[in-house]
């Protein structure tokens, strides 16, 4: 069958990294400043890769943190902790950060990326509450890198995680080529409250001043957490209280464990030169945009699905680009989680918008599709600068093709109640006595929080543990800033004085402020206590803009939780 | 704007129309057998145009050939009549220049480029330099407005909002530091404490083993707590309490 251009536009098929506007005009979807566009690539040639599950190793003796790795800003680690305390039942993991050839697309040459275990995204951790992890990350990145994107100095932040300051990837707590650092992840809900059980976290590089290029080069992966009701058994869980959301454990022919029907999807944009080599612009301080759209590390893949429900965990792992996703056939998403937590109740949406570092969990039901039907996940949010999105366009760019190829049993469900909040604004607000305002803005071309750059020696808030505070997050200059607060997850009280939209009524750890989204007033609970290894919640953590070019130009501040 | 080679529209559409459910054999990868570009050459080509400028001493120079090639530089944008960020920026950079003065291993060239080149003649800039007591190794530069504009954008000092971009004041807050032969470039606020700018320059200039490090580097600027750090307001306002469903 020969498709006309009109057919294609109805199907919502863009071309390569470009979108077709009504009238057939081709429009570059972005690209950094004046750099040339990427070469064209045929969409949907490659099957969606799904990262392998990180496998535990035999216990090893944990070691003190290296203290002599010199950051690009000249600092060395602030938290230099001795060997970690290892509670009984802890699982051990060993991951190497490695340079390795990677195929972004069969029509582009292999590119040497930096990845955890040499892959991007890195292996997916599957954690269960109550079973702590020690993860040793080994920096095997080359000291002399011919590509020139990134620096071989790293710190690992488990984004959304509840962890001690020394395990949080504080930006100067780095380790260099040839060194390693042990991270202890307690895998416990903040203050052991069931409402705080985590769902979709991710881990990525967080080294000071170079997070943008290091993450762009590939240093990111998923960390999924399960608990008694949102369990690893998933849809097969016989526990009557289990949510039985789509997903179950199975085994691949290779013997490797595999999580089926529950699929993490990291969306990223990248730019390539005319020969197909990765491009990054170290002079771009507005926010680096690519014009190729990747899902799980490859450009515009396809994914064969069965006629049933799937759980998809979307992560925007882009440096500066926002997306708004639609299904090409007009069907809805059932949103079940935002950032690190499940929602209280599922929300049906026709589309969802996702800014850098945010996660949105959705259930997509293919049970009504025809066998052989092809359905596209389409980004309709156009963005041509790091400042903010331009707005919705039609038809947009399809980034992932679902091919409905088989039938499969579906014992999963999406219950009406997912994760109830028992200690929310109603309970916390009467005790609030502290309100702070943080303005994220541009000052004569540089990025500041309340007029200041990040300085390792400046504290911008001293909250007390086991209290809650109101923070007003403002972006006065018309720029979008995805603000990420480490350690805790917050409630959105209002948006420019109005009720927040449905997908902001759950907990968040990253929130888009500015432009059409407006300012946000949030309620920030400060946890009290670690239990797996007992200790008060205290110390220095950062909060920052997660547009990575803004972050690297020090649009970051820190709070020091008072014990 | 430069654009890479792009297949004609019709070919791209055909490629999309194929959208195979059984993937066709892939075409030979582009760039097969090629190597990734040399990052230093790529930066020169994309970011360091060789435009002609005139120094405050009246000397005609080329930006790349004479001012940047083989050097460690700190570059900012200014104009002589600017009363807001510029005087503080110049003062900060003067501190930085003093800190590096007389040290052969810290050879840093400072470049202050006028965003008001018609009014900032070499004579005006010489007066400005003299008034601020600057020493050799620091050039105040003027040239053709459109070329300086192009240079400013290539160095990353631009705003996507054309109204903001047209206001020269909005580009006076950055200092771009670079080590040209090493291909290492960064930008920080020129209103940072001078010692932080000095450290940023040292880190593009020196091999990592000689970088300022650790607690001493952090403590080079004094400990401080920002105004928001201890803000207490008593009970929250009613408007904070009622806005959720």
Rounded CA gap, A356 and A515, in Å?
Answer: 15
Rounded CA gap, A349 and B38, in Å?
Answer: 46
DSSP code of A552? H
Instruction: Look at B226 and A444 and tell me if their CB atoms are within 8 Å.
Output: no
From the list A106, A277, A282, the residue facing B185 with the nearest CB is: A282
Chain A hits for B68, CB-CB cut-off 8 Å, are none
Residue reference for tokens 């070329």: B147
Instruction: Look at B27 and A444 and tell me if their CB atoms are within 8 Å.
Output: no
Nearby residues of A288 by Cβ (< 8 Å), 6 or more positions away: A32, A212, A216, A271, A280, A281, A319, A320, A386, A548, A549
Instruction: Look at B211 and A478 and tell me if their CB atoms are within 8 Å.
Output: no
pLDDT for res A542: 98
Nearby residues of B136 by Cβ (< 8 Å), 6 or more positions away: none
Pairing of strands A333-338, A302-306: unpaired
Rounded CA gap, B140 and B137, in Å?
Answer: 10
Q: What is the Cβ-side half-sphere exposure of residue A126, based on CA atoms within 13 angstroms?
A: 20
User: Chain A: residue nearest B84 by CA?
Assistant: A444
Interfacial B residues in 137-156 facing A (CB < 8 Å): 153-156
pLDDT for res A1: 38
Chain A hits for B30, CB-CB cut-off 8 Å, are 39, 107-109, 274-276
Residue reference for tokens 């051990």: A92
User: Given CA atoms A97, A99, A100, A106 in this order, what sign does their dihedral have?
Assistant: positive
Q: Which two tokens stand for residue A459?
A: 């504290």
**Do the beta carbons of residue A170 and residue A542 sit within 8 Å?**
yes
Ranked by mean pLDDT, the top range of A503-512, B15-24, B81-90 is A503-512
**Do the beta carbons of residue A45 and residue B26 sit within 8 Å?**
yes
Instruction: Look at A521 and B243 and tell me if their CB atoms are within 8 Å.
Output: yes
Q: A94: how many CB neighbours lie within 10 A of its CB? A: 18
**Do the beta carbons of residue A266 and residue A400 sit within 8 Å?**
no
Q: A126: how many CB neighbours lie within 10 A of its CB? A: 17
**Do the beta carbons of residue A306 and residue A371 sit within 8 Å?**
no
- Among B41, B83, B244, pick the best mutation site for testing chain A contact (most A Cβ within 10 A): B244
Chain A hits for B159, CB-CB cut-off 8 Å, are 286, 387, 442, 445
From the list B1, B34, B219, the residue facing A34 with the nearest CB is: B1
Instruction: Look at B26 and A106 and tell me if their CB atoms are within 8 Å.
Output: yes
Interfacial A residues in 273-292 facing B (CB < 8 Å): 273-278, 281-286
Taking the Cβ of residue B79 and every Cβ of chain A, the question of whether any pair is shorter than 8 Å is answered with no
Distance from CA of B76 to the nearest CA of A (A): 11
ipTM of the complex, rounded to two decimals: 0.73
- Residue, of A457 and B14, whose pLDDT is higher: A457
> Which of A31-35, A56-60, B1-5, B37-41 has the lowest average pLDDT?
B1-5
Q: What is the Cβ-side half-sphere exposure of residue A255, based on CA atoms within 13 angstroms?
A: 1
Instruction: Look at B161 and A283 and tell me if their CB atoms are within 8 Å.
Output: no
Listed residue (B179, B62, B113) closest to A282, CA to CA: B179
Distance from CA of A281 to the nearest CA of B (A): 9
For residue B236, pLDDT over 60 is answered with no
Instruction: Look at B30 and A109 and tell me if their CB atoms are within 8 Å.
Output: yes
**Do the beta carbons of residue A268 and residue A317 sit within 8 Å?**
yes
**Helices and strands (H and E) in chain B: how many:** 8, 8
Instruction: Look at B9 and A26 and tell me if their CB atoms are within 8 Å.
Output: yes
Pairing of strands B138-143, B108-114: parallel
Rounded CA gap, A269 and B211, in Å?
Answer: 34
For residue B13, pLDDT over 70 is answered with no
A410 by Cβ neighbours in 10 Å (0-12 / 13-18 / 19+) ranks as middle
Domains and CATH numbers, chain B: 39-241 (3.40.30.10)
For residue B72, pLDDT over 90 is answered with yes
**Do the beta carbons of residue A245 and residue A199 sit within 8 Å?**
no
Chain B hits for A38, CB-CB cut-off 8 Å, are 4
**Do the beta carbons of residue B93 and residue B191 sit within 8 Å?**
no
DSSP code of A119? B
pLDDT for res B215: 65
For residue B228, pLDDT over 70 is answered with no
pLDDT for res B244: 32
pTM of the full predicted structure? Answer: 0.87
User: Given CA atoms A31, B190, B132, B67 in this order, what sign does their dihedral have?
Assistant: negative
Instruction: Look at B16 and A498 and tell me if their CB atoms are within 8 Å.
Output: no
- Among A283, A425, A430, A473, pick the best mutation site for testing chain B contact (most B Cβ within 10 A): A283
Interfacial B residues in 29-68 facing A (CB < 8 Å): 29-32, 34-37, 39-40, 42-43, 46-47
Distance from CA of B57 to the nearest CA of A (A): 28
Helix axes B194-205, B85-100, angle to 10 degrees: 50
Q: A229: how many CB neighbours lie within 10 A of its CB? A: 18
User: Chain B: residue nearest A42 by CA?
Assistant: B15
**Do the beta carbons of residue A256 and residue A245 sit within 8 Å?**
no
Helix ranges (H only) for chain B are: 9-18, 39-47, 85-100, 122-131, 145-154, 162-165, 194-205, 214-218
Listed residue (A291, A398, A292, A295) closest to A13, CA to CA: A398
Phi, psi of A276 (to 5 degrees): 90, 20
Phi, psi of A186 (to 5 degrees): -65, -20
pLDDT for res B196: 84
Rounded CA gap, A71 and B155, in Å?
Answer: 24
DSSP code of A422? S
pLDDT 10s per residue in chain A (563 long)?
333 333 333 343 333 334 433 322 233 333 345 688 999 999 999 999 999 999 999 999 999 999 989 888 778 899 999 999 999 999 999 999 999 999 999 999 999 999 999 999 999 999 999 999 999 999 999 988 889 899 999 999 999 999 999 999 999 999 999 999 999 999 999 999 999 999 999 999 999 989 999 999 999 999 999 999 999 999 999 999 999 999 999 999 999 999 999 999 999 999 999 999 999 998 998 999 999 999 999 999 999 999 999 999 999 999 999 999 999 999 999 999 999 999 999 999 999 999 999 999 999 999 999 999 999 999 999 999 999 999 999 999 999 999 999 999 999 999 999 999 999 999 999 999 999 999 999 888 889 899 888 888 889 999 999 999 999 999 998 899 999 999 999 999 999 989 999 999 999 999 999 988 999 999 999 999 999 999 999 999 999 999 999 999 889 999 999 99
- In DSSP terms, which residues pair with A158 in a beta bridge? A203
Listed residue (A382, A401, A149, A367) closest to A265, CA to CA: A401
> Which of A241-255, A457-471, B180-194, B209-223 has the lowest average pLDDT?
B209-223
Chain B hits for A460, CB-CB cut-off 8 Å, are 225-226, 228-229
From the list B213, B218, B229, the residue facing A457 with the nearest CB is: B218
Helix ranges (H only) for A308-421 are: none
User: Chain B: residue nearest A551 by CA?
Assistant: B188
For residue B28, pLDDT over 60 is answered with no
pLDDT for res B19: 36
Helix (H, G, I), strand (E, B) or coil at A423: coil
Distance from CA of B202 to the nearest CA of A (A): 9
Task: Report pLDDT digits (tens) over B91-127.
Answer: 999 999 998 887 767 789 999 999 999 999 999 999 9
Instruction: Look at A39 and B183 and tell me if their CB atoms are within 8 Å.
Output: no
Instruction: Look at B236 and A470 and tell me if their CB atoms are within 8 Å.
Output: yes
- In DSSP terms, which residues pair with B187 in a beta bridge? B176
Nearby residues of A453 by Cβ (< 8 Å), 6 or more positions away: A446, A447, A553, A554, A555, B188, B189, B192, B196
pLDDT for res B188: 85
From the list A36, A112, A493, the residue facing B2 with the nearest CB is: A36
Rounded CA gap, A86 and A83, in Å?
Answer: 9
Rounded CA gap, A404 and A375, in Å?
Answer: 8
Chain A hits for B13, CB-CB cut-off 8 Å, are 5, 8, 15
Whether the bond between A109 and the residue before it is cis, its omega within 30 degrees of 0, is: no
For residue B216, pLDDT over 90 is answered with no
Taking the Cβ of residue A33 and every Cβ of chain B, the question of whether any pair is shorter than 8 Å is answered with yes
Task: Report pLDDT digits (tens) over B143-171.
Answer: 999 999 999 999 999 988 888 899 998 89
Rounded CA gap, A509 and A486, in Å?
Answer: 7
- In DSSP terms, which residues pair with B224 in a beta bridge? A458
Strand ranges (E), A69-152: 91-102, 111-116, 122-128, 133-139
pLDDT for res B142: 98
From the list A110, A435, A557, the residue facing B233 with the nearest CB is: A435
Rounded CA gap, A458 and A558, in Å?
Answer: 7
Average pLDDT, chain B: 79
**Do the beta carbons of residue A509 and residue A160 sit within 8 Å?**
yes
pLDDT for res A400: 98
Rounded CA gap, B20 and A409, in Å?
Answer: 27
Chain A hits for B35, CB-CB cut-off 8 Å, are 146
Among left, alpha and beta (phi > 0; psi -120 to 50; other), residue B214 is left
Helix (H, G, I), strand (E, B) or coil at A425: helix
- In DSSP terms, which residues pair with A375 in a beta bridge? A402
Listed residue (A428, A538, A562, A427) closest to A487, CA to CA: A538
pLDDT for res A478: 86
C-alpha distances in angstroms, B61 versus B50, B64, B65, B139?
Answer: 9, 9, 8, 11
- Per the document, the length of chain B is 245
Q: Which two tokens stand for residue B236?
A: 């929250």
pLDDT for res B213: 60
Taking the Cβ of residue B27 and every Cβ of chain A, the question of whether any pair is shorter than 8 Å is answered with yes
pLDDT for res A420: 96
B211-229: burial string, b at 16+ Cβ within 10 Å, e else: bbbbeebbebbeeeebebb
Nearby residues of A96 by Cβ (< 8 Å), 6 or more positions away: A116, A117, A118, A137, A138, A140
Listed residue (A207, A146, A136) closest to A176, CA to CA: A207
Distance from CA of B29 to the nearest CA of A (A): 4
Chain A hits for B232, CB-CB cut-off 8 Å, are 433-434
């Amino acid at each position: 069958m020969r498709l006309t251009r009109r057919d294609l536009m109805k199907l919502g098929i863009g071309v390569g990294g470009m979108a077709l506007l009504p009238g057939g005009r081709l429009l570059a979807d972005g690209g950094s400043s004046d750099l040339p566009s990427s070469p064209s690539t045929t969409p949907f040639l490659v099957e969606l890769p799904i990262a392998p599950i990180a496998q535990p190793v035999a216990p090893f003796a944990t070691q003190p943190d290296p203290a002599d790795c010199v950051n690009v800003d000249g600092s060395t680690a602030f938290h230099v902790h001795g060997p970690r305390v290892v509670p009984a039942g802890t699982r051990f993991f060993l991951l190497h950060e490695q340079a390795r050839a990677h195929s972004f697309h069969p029509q582009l040459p292999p590119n040497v990326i930096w990845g955890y275990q040499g892959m991007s995204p890195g292996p997916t951790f599957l954690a269960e509450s109550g079973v702590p992890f020690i993860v040793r990350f080994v920096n095997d990145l080359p000291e002399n890198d011919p590509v020139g994107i990134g620096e071989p100095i790293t710190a690992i932040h488990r984004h959304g995680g509840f962890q001690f300051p020394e395990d949080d990837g504080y930006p100067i707590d780095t380790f260099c080529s040839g060194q390693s650092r042990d991270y202890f992840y307690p895998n416990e809900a903040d203050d052991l409250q069931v409402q705080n059980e985590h769902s979709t976290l991710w881990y990525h590089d967080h080294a000071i001043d170079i997070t943008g290029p290091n993450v762009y080069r590939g240093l990111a992966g998923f960390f999924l957490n399960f608990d008694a009701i949102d369990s690893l058994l998933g849809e097969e869980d016989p526990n009557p209280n289990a949510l039985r959301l789509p997903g179950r454990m199975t085994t691949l022919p290779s013997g490797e464990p595999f999580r089926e029907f529950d699929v993490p999807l990291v969306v990223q944009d990248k730019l390539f030169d005319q020969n197909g080599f990765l491009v990054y612009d170290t002079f771009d301080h507005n926010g680096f945009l690519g014009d190729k759209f990747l899902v799980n590390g490859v450009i515009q893949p396809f994914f064969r699905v069965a006629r049933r429900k799937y759980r998809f965990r979307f992560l925007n792992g882009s440096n500066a680009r926002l997306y708004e996703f639609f299904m090409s056939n007009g069907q809805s998403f059932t949103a079940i989680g935002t950032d690190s937590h499940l929602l209280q109740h599922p929300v049906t949406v026709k589309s969802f918008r996702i800014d850098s570092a945010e996660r949105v969990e959705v259930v997509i039901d293919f049970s009504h599709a025809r066998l052989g039907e092809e359905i596209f996940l389409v980004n309709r949010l156009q963005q041509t600068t790091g400042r903010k999105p331009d707005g919705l366009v039609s038809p947009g760019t399809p980034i992932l093709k679902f091919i409905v190829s088989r039938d499969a049993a579906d014992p999963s469900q999406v219950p009406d109640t997912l994760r109830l909040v028992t200690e929310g604004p109603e309970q916390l607000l009467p005790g609030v006595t502290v309100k702070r305002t943080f303005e994220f803005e541009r000052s004569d071309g540089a990025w500041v929080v309340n007029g200041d750059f990040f300085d390792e020696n400046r504290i911008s808030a001293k909250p007390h543990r086991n209290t809650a505070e109101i923070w007003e997050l403002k972006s006065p200059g018309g720029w979008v800033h995805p603000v990420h607060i480490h350690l805790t997850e917050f409630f959105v009280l209002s948006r420019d004085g109005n009720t927040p939209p449905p997908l902001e009524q759950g907990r968040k750890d990253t929130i888009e402020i500015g432009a059409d989204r407006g300012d946000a007033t949030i309620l920030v609970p400060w946890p009290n206590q670690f239990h797996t290894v007992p200790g008060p919640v205290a110390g220095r953590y950062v909060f920052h803009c997660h547009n990575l070019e803004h972050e690297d130009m020090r649009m970051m501040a820190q709070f020091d939780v008072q014990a | 704007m430069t654009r890479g080679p792009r297949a004609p529209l019709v070919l791209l559409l055909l490629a999309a129309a194929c959208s195979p459910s059984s993937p066709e054999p892939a075409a030979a990868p582009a760039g097969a057998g090629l190597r990734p570009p040399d990052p230093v050459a790529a930066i020169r080509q994309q970011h360091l145009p060789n435009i002609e400028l005139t120094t405050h001493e009246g000397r005609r120079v080329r930006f790349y050939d004479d001012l940047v090639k083989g050097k460690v530089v700190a570059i900012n944008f200014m104009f002589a009549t600017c009363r807001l960020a510029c005087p503080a920026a110049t003062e900060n950079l003067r501190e930085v220049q003093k800190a590096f003065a007389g040290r052969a291993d810290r050879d840093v060239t400072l470049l202050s480029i006028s965003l008001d080149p018609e009014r900032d003649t070499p004579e005006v800039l010489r007066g400005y330099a003299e008034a601020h007591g600057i020493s050799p190794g620091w050039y105040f530069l003027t040239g053709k407005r459109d070329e300086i504009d192009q240079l400013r954008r290539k160095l990353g000092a631009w705003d996507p909002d054309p109204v903001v971009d047209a206001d020269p004041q909005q580009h006076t807050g950055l200092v771009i530091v670079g080590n040209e032969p090493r291909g290492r470039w960064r930008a920080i606020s020129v209103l940072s404490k001078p010692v932080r700018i000095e450290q940023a320059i040292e880190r593009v200039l020196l091999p990592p083993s000689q970088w300022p490090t650790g607690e001493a580097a952090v403590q080079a600027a004094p400990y401080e707590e920002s105004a928001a750090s201890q803000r207490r307001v008593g009970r929250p306002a009613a408007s904070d309490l009622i806005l959720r469903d």
